[in-house]
Amino acid sequence: MKVLPVLDFTIIGIYLIAMVLVGFYFSRKNKNAEQFTVASGLIPGWAIGLSIYATFLSSNTFLGVPGKAYGGNWNAFVFSLSMPFAAWIAVKYFIPFYRNTGNISAYTHFEKRFGPWARVYAVICFLLTQIARMGSVFFGIALSLQALTGLSMKTIMIVMGISIILYTVSGGIKAVIWTEVVQAIIKTLGAILIIYLVVSNIPGGFDKIVEIGKADHKFSLGSFSLNLTEPTFWVILFYGFFINLNNFGMDQNYIQRYHAATSTKQAAKSVWLCVGIYVPASFLFFVIGSCLYAYYSQHPDLILSLKHQVAIERLPATASANEVVAFMSKLTPADYGDKIMPHFMVTKIPAGLVGIIVAAILSAAMSTISSGMNSSATVFTIDIYKRYFKPQLNEKNTMNALHIGTVLFGFTGMAAGIAMIGVKSILDLWWQLSGIFAAGMLGLFLLGIISRQTRNHEAIIASIIGVLVILWLTFPALIPEQYAALRSTLNTNMIIVAGTLAIFLTGIFLTKTRQLTV
C-alpha cells in the first residue's frame, strides 16, 4: 500500500476540515427553510457564477476529460462549445420565468401546467439524474485516491461522503455556494499546475506534445459527417446543447441558484460568468489529456501496471495469471484513460504538490456532490414529502426533512458510486445516464412552456411515447434477434435529443390535430 507523505496528507486534511468548518459556520444562519434552500436571495451574482462553474466542473471533468483525450481525441470538447447557445436561451427565457414564478422547486410548474402526474414524473427523472451524477463523481474521487493511498474505493467513498454530508447538511445552500467559490479557484489552479508538471517532464516540451498529438490525430473534434450512429462533431454538439438546456433550464441545482441571486440581472450574469470560465477551463483538461498521452508515449513501460490494475478490476477473482495477461493484451488506451492522471500523480509529482492536486480533485468532486445533495433534499421535501404526506409542515419539521433528505441522498449517491466500480469511462457512463433521465423532463417542460394549448391528456400520450423512444434507444439488445432490424443504431448520446424531441413534437402534433378537428 502506498502511503502519502505527511505533508500531502496534512494539506488534504486541512482542506477537508476547512470545508466542514464552513458548513458549521453557516449553520448558525440557517433558521428557516428559505435560508437553507435559497439563502434568502442574498448571494451576489459573481459568487453564484463561480458556484455554477464549480458544479459543472466535477471530477468527471477533472479525471474523465483527460481520460477521454488520452484514449481518443478532443471530440468531447464540442460539448463545451454548445454551452453558449443553451445559456443564451436560459438567460432570455428560463431565468425570468423561474424568478417570476417564485417557486423554489423547478417542478412545481409541471403540476400547474399538466397535473400532479407531470410533477411526479419530472421529480423522479431529476432524482435519478442526481443519483447517477453523484455516483459517477464519487467513483471519480475513489479512482484518484485509490492510486495514491492503496485504500479500497469503497472506503474512500464512505469517508469522503461523510465529510461532504457534514458541511452540506449543516450549512445549506450558503455553505454549498461559498465552498464552491473556493473550490472553483482551487480546481482551476490545480489544472494549470498539472499541465506545468507534465510538460516539464517531457523532453521537447509543448512542441513535442503537439508533434505526437498531430501524428496520432489527438486534436480532432470528430468527424463532421452527419452520421448519427457515431460520436461525430454534430452528435456531441446536439447532445451538449440539449443536456446544457436541461442543466440551465430544468436542473434544480441551478434553479435554486437563480433564486439565491439578489436580482434577475445578477442571476443572468452568473450564467454567463459560468460559461465564460468553463469553456476555457475544460479546454485545459483536454490539454492535460494530450500532454499525458505524449508523456506515456515516451514511456510505454509505465502502462503495464495500469493494464494489470484494469484486468484485476474487470476479471473475476478466480481468473488465472494467463487469463489476466491475455486480457491485458487486448486493452486499448480508452480502457485505462481514466487511470492515467492518478498514475502520473503517484509516480512523477513531488511531495506537497500531490496534496494540492488531490485537494483540487476533491474540490471538483465535492462541489458537484454537495449541490446534488442539497437540491435533491429540496425537491424531495417540497415536491414529495410536503406535497403528498405533510402539507402543513412547520419550519422546524421542514428543516428536519431537509436535513434527513440531504443525508439519505448522500448515502444513496455513495451506493451508486460503489456500484460503478470497474466501468470503462466515467465520462461516457455519466453522459449516457444523464441523457436517459433528462430527456423525459426536458421534452415535457419545453412542451408546457412553448405550447400553451397542449392539454393534460396530450401531454400524457406524448410522455408515454417519449419514454418508449428512450427505452428503445437505451436497450436495443432487448429486441429479439429475429427482429434485429428494428434495433436502434443511433449513438447513445442521441438519447436525450431523440427523447426530448419525441415528447415535444408528439405533443405539438396531437395539439394541432385536435385544433383542426374541432
List, as one string, the DSSP characters of 235-271: HHHHHHHHHHHHHHHH-HHHHHHHHHBSSHHHHHHHH
pLDDT of residue 431: 61
Beta bridge partners of 70: none
**All cell numbers assigned to 195:** 499541465
pLDDT of residue 434: 66
Query: What gap in Å lies between CA 50 and CA 55, rounded to an integer?
Result: 9
pLDDT of residue 338: 77
Query: What gap in Å lies between CA 440 and CA 121, rounded to an integer?
Result: 8
pLDDT of residue 3: 60
Query: What gap in Å lies between CA 476 and CA 478, rounded to an integer?
Result: 5
Residue 510: strand, helix, or coil: helix
Which residues of the chain carry a pLDDT beneath 70? 1-4, 27-32, 39, 59-60, 147, 149-150, 422-435, 437, 518
**pTM recorded for the entire structure:** 0.84
**All cell numbers assigned to 239:** 447532445
151 backbone φψ class: left, alpha, beta (φ>0; ψ -120 to 50)? beta
pLDDT of residue 212: 93
pLDDT of residue 105: 79
Going by the DSSP 8-state scheme, the letter that residue 107 receives in this structure is: T
pLDDT of residue 389: 87
Residue 30's contacts (CB-CB under 8 Å, 6 or more residues apart) are 36, 170, 171, 172, 174, 399
**All cell numbers assigned to 31:** 433558521
pLDDT of residue 68: 87
pLDDT of residue 339: 81
**All cell numbers assigned to 505:** 413534437
Angle between helices 340-348 and 303-314 in degrees, nearest 10 = 130
- What does the pLDDT look like over 450-466, one tens digit per residue? 888 889 999 999 999 98
pLDDT of residue 422: 67
CA distances from 320 to 324, 331, 424 (A): 6, 17, 22
How buried is 84 (Cβ within 10 angstroms: 0-12 exposed, 13-18 middle, 19+ buried)? middle
102 backbone φψ class: left, alpha, beta (φ>0; ψ -120 to 50)? left
**All cell numbers assigned to 336:** 485505462
Maximum Cα interatomic distance, the chain, rounded to a whole number of Å:
77
Beta bridge partners of 43: 261
**All cell numbers assigned to 186:** 482551487
CB 279 within 8 A of CB 188: no
Q: Within 13 Å, how many C-alpha atoms sit on residue 442's CB side?
A: 29
pLDDT of residue 1: 43
pLDDT of residue 363: 78
Residue 43: strand, helix, or coil: strand
Query: What gap in Å lies between CA 437 and CA 433, rounded to an integer?
Result: 6
CA distances from 279 to 57, 109, 276, 324 (A): 10, 31, 6, 40
157 backbone φψ class: left, alpha, beta (φ>0; ψ -120 to 50)? alpha
Beta bridge partners of 261: 43
